[in-house]
Amino acid sequence: MATITTRDGVEIYYKDWGSGQPILFSHGWPLNGDSWESQMLFLADHGYRVIAHDRRGHGRSSQPWHGNDMDHYADDLAELIEVLDLRDLVLFGFSTGGGEVARYIGRHGTDRVAKAGLISAVPPLMLKTESNPDGLPIEVFDGIRAGSVADRSQLYKDIAGGPFYGYNRPGAKPSQGIIDAFWMQGMMAGHKSAYDCIAAFSATDFRDDLKKFDVPTLVLHGDDDQIVPIGAAGLASAKLIADAKLVVYPGAPHGLADTHKDQLNADLLAFLRS
C-alpha cells in the first residue's frame, strides 16, 4: 500500500496509476478513492497519470479523532502533492472532494495546478444562512448526523438506494452492485471521522476560496441532484469562479460518476485536452 504520513502523524493512503500529466481525484462522503475508479481507468488508458487518495478518516487512511475538517483535508492534499512533486496538475473533486479542492486552492494557490474540476461539488456553501438563503436548513444535516449515530450502516444503504443515485425516481433501475459499493466504502470510514465530515461538507463557506481560482475550471452538475442541489451549488460556483465552464447534465443525480460514467469520462477527457 502506498501511503504518506502528514506532519501531524496521519497516514494517507493513495493509489497512483499510469503515466503522463497528473490528475488528482478527491472523493465524496463517506466514500474513498475507489469511487473514482471508472474515471481513473479511462483516463489512465488515455495517457494520463491518475492518483486518488483516501481522505483522513476514510477508506484505508488513518482515523484521527481530531482534524476532520476542510483545512486539514486541504493541507493533507497539499502534502501529498508536495511529496509526489506533482506539477502541471489537474484537480478533480466530487461532492465533498470539490470542497477539498476549493479549500486547497484557497490556502495553497495554483502554482502546481493547471486546471480544476468541481463535479457535483458542495461549494460555495451548502448550509442555509442569512447570507446564503438558497442553502439547505440545518435540520437536513442534523438528520444525517442523527441517522449516523442511530444506525450508520442503514443510513448508507438508504442514501445509496435512494437519492444519491436517483434510485428513488420513477422508472429508475437500481444497481445493487453500486449500492453495495457505496455501503462498503462508507463502512470503511471511521465513525467519528465520517460524523465530523458532515459539518465539514455542509457548513464550510468556500466563497472566498472560489474567488481565488485562476486556472481553467470545469463546473459539472446534474440538475436532479437531490444531495447537493444545483442551484445553491454548481450554478452558484460557476458565477464565483472567473471564466468557469459550466456543464449541466439534465436529469442526472448526485452520483453521476457512476450513473453517467461514460458521459462524464468523455467530458473530462475533452476538458483535459482543451
Q: Are 122 and 50 in contact (CB under 8 A)?
A: no
CA torsion sign for 37, 42, 44, 48 is negative
Half-sphere exposure of 59 (CA within 13 A, CB side): 26
Task: Round to whole Å and give the CA distance between 176 and 173.
Answer: 9
Task: Round to whole Å and give the CA distance between 112 and 129.
Answer: 34
Task: Round to whole Å and give the CA distance between 36 and 201.
Answer: 19
CA torsion sign for 54, 59, 62, 63 is positive
Q: Where in the sequence numbering do the catalytic residues fall?
A: 95, 225, 254
